[in-house]
Structure 1
Amino acid sequence: MTFSIADIPEFTKPTVAVVTGGTGGIGKVAVRELYNHGATIYVIARNASKAEALISEVVDKAKENGGSVTIIKGDHMDLNSIVSAAHEIAEKETKIDILLNNAGIMMVPYVETSDGYESHLQVNYISHYLLTRLLMPLLQAAEAPRIINVSSIAHTGYWRFNFEHPNLKGGIEFFKRGMRYSQSKICNILFTNKLAKLYPSILCLSVHPGVIVDTGLMDAMIHDKSRFGYMRLFARINVWFGRKLGSTIEQGALTSIYCAVDKGLTAEKNNGEYYVPIAKKAVSSSTTRNPVTIDRLWDWTEEQLISKGYWPKNETA
């Protein structure tokens, strides 16, 4: 099917959206269009200057459609920061209609967060898991809520989640960076599929936005200072092909926006589906559809967060 910005419907009812990674790239386009069509948006952001630029660029103070954008301070490298962001949103709203888990990093050097997780694993997956769980009461309070988790075709680049060594530390860094990124994107689809099972009344979808090279995700590779420059060469080749064959930032945002707003999608018919550009249903890897792995990752993540005191062991989803 085809889907464009012109196909985005106006929100006829008060609509509240929460967007992560909304200060740049495809997230900023999503924020702009949700705002333009009347949504009340909360953008979780750690970079104050980017947040100010987003407001200046996206928000038209003269609009009369009821749209608004509020910045909520939150850093996906710090789980306590995500807790604070969720609580701040809960103080302001009684329901959430759309949760777009869009924030992400790619192919960055090995770093462990203060919470003890490799940065791809935490930023791309665990922080979104925590945020979603904390916002679940507000999502359940909405009439037809949606959760959209941004994954990547790169989830096919690794064949499993490494429960024994989830940080994927050590080895040849050139390859391990890609494995860490791919693993985190596997998690996002597994997470989506588990949510769809647990919450059949919430439309939960995962998305591959496309190959988009101008979002800043390639910066870590382009500026890499490794001795032989393999990462820089790999990045430049990808950028060249991406600009020839890939998607623009505007095009890259369309599938996420489609999943967030299209009236033909329902929890009853479409829960747990995976979408690729532009707005096409596809089939994710067999790993992400394995029911044993789906349940095991959920249990592993729950145990991780229980051990850190985020909720009691006897709390059910």
Structure 2
Amino acid sequence: MTWSTADIPDLAGRRALVTGATSGLGYETALELLRHGADVLIAARDPEKAASAAERLAHASSSEPTVVELDLADLTSVEKAADQVGKTYDRLDLLVNNAGVMAPPYRQTADGFELQLGTNHLGHFALTGRLLPLLLKAPAPRVVTVSSFMHKTARGITAADFRQPQRGYSKWVAYGKSKLANLLFMLELDRRARAAGSTLLSVGAHPGYASTHLQAAGPELAGRAFEARVWEGINKVVAQSAAAGAWPSLYAATSPEARPGGYYGPKYEIRGTPKPVSPTRTAQDQALAERLWTWSVEATGVNPTLTVPR
């Protein structure tokens, strides 16, 4: 399969929200959506970084995005952001669940959850659930959930993982579980959408190995400057660009060929043009996905419904 951003169709009249769009994959995703005519909302935690990114995006695309303040590690912030979007707009055509943290030192979210599962999965689960009424008002809505090939390292997930204590904590194990949760959620959302007869398309993507600040952010938080520099050096040698890393997300978000429950990644696993790829058997475990959904509802207080608003 060959594909490039030139294949993105005209997106005029479509409204998209991209999380984590101040840099890296989210920025490149938002940029191409703007360049192809979409009305883009960029959701970010830091208002100053968001304002700077919005200015750069406007300059690069000749179309100005709208900033939505959102901290996925704080469920109150998620609720406020969704309320703001709901009060401002009558529908949302596309949600790209892109933001994430990778292998930071042990931290908890504002609600007491392990930071990576709390941000990468629970924050996006709550945001998607709260935005579903807007999405279901669109004629052909899509939700793209960005995972990682690191989901392959996770053998499973339990409700106890949400409140993993610091003792015995492994940042890479937790990251793999958060990315597994992303895929379990994406596939369960797809099953529920089809069972409800909804037109919602739930799809997933992973960037391969893309050069973003994500790899160095964890060591920086831990005060390990040398390790951060090592990651930056590895990126220069091994990684593809952030723009190329965003291709699978953009394919999933815009291609007429994207299929319900489809998962897209680079042709050569860590780099290359997008193609359909396969989640692990664990990620395709429907019973586990249903349990994760139940645990996530209990943890966030958000129960996503696929009922079409009147």
Tell me if TM exceeds 0.5.
Answer: yes
- Are residue 184 (structure 1) and residue 188 (structure 2) matched? no
Within a 5 Å distance, the mapping from 1:28-67 to structure 2 comes to 28-60=27-59, 63=62, 67=63
Q: 1:29 deviation in Å?
A: 0.8
Query: Contact conserved, 2:31 with 2:60, CA < 8 A, in 1?
Result: no
Query: Contact conserved, 1:19 with 1:100, CA < 8 A, in 2?
Result: yes
- Are residue 26 (structure 1) and residue 16 (structure 2) matched? no
Distance 2:300 2:251 in 1: 32
Distance 2:161 2:242 in 1: 34
Q: Which residue of structure 1 lines up, in the alignment, with residue 193 of structure 2?
A: 199
- Are residue 209 (structure 1) and residue 207 (structure 2) matched? yes
Q: Which residue of structure 1 lines up, in the alignment, with residue 5 of structure 2?
A: 5
For 2:256, the aligned partner's letter is K
Q: Which residue of structure 1 lines up, in the alignment, with residue 219 of structure 2?
A: 221
Query: Identity over aligned residues, as a percent?
Result: 30
- Are residue 291 (structure 1) and residue 286 (structure 2) matched? yes
- Are residue 158 (structure 1) and residue 154 (structure 2) matched? yes
Distance 1:75 1:120 in 2: 13
- Are residue 134 (structure 1) and residue 130 (structure 2) matched? yes
For 1:245, the aligned partner's letter is V
Task: Name segments (4+ residues, structure 1) moved above 6 Å.
Answer: none
Q: Which residue of structure 2 lines up, in the alignment, with residue 275 of structure 1?
A: 264
Distance 1:78 1:249 in 2: 27
Query: Contact conserved, 1:195 with 1:204, CA < 8 A, in 2?
Result: yes
Q: Deviations over 1:195-246 (max 9, x none)?
A: 00111221111111111233344222256447xx9xx55x666554443332
What 5-or-longer segments of structure 1 have no aligned partner?
Answer: none
1:99 to 95, 105, 110: 95
Secondary structure of 1:148 counterpart? strand
Q: 1:165 deviation in Å?
A: 3.8
Secondary structure of 1:103 counterpart? coil
For 1:246, the aligned partner's letter is A
- Are residue 76 (structure 1) and residue 72 (structure 2) matched? yes
1:115 to 102, 111, 118: 111
Distance 1:255 1:247 in 2: 13
Query: Contact conserved, 1:159 with 1:287, CA < 8 A, in 2?
Result: yes
What 5-or-longer segments of structure 2 have no aligned partner?
Answer: 267-272
Q: 1:166 deviation in Å?
A: 3.0
Query: Contact conserved, 1:107 with 1:218, CA < 8 A, in 2?
Result: no
Distance 2:94 2:186 in 1: 14
Distance 2:213 2:205 in 1: 16
Q: 1:46 deviation in Å?
A: 1.4
Distance 1:150 1:2 in 2: 21
Query: Contact conserved, 1:19 with 1:102, CA < 8 A, in 2?
Result: yes
Secondary structure of 1:288 counterpart? coil
Q: 1:55 deviation in Å?
A: 1.8
Q: Which residue of structure 2 lines up, in the alignment, with residue 258 of structure 1?
A: 251
Matched residue count: 296
Query: Contact conserved, 1:213 with 1:242, CA < 8 A, in 2?
Result: yes
Give TM-score, length-normalised by structure 1.
0.87
Alignment CA distance shift 1:239-1:145 (3 Å): same
Give TM-score, length-normalised by structure 2.
0.88
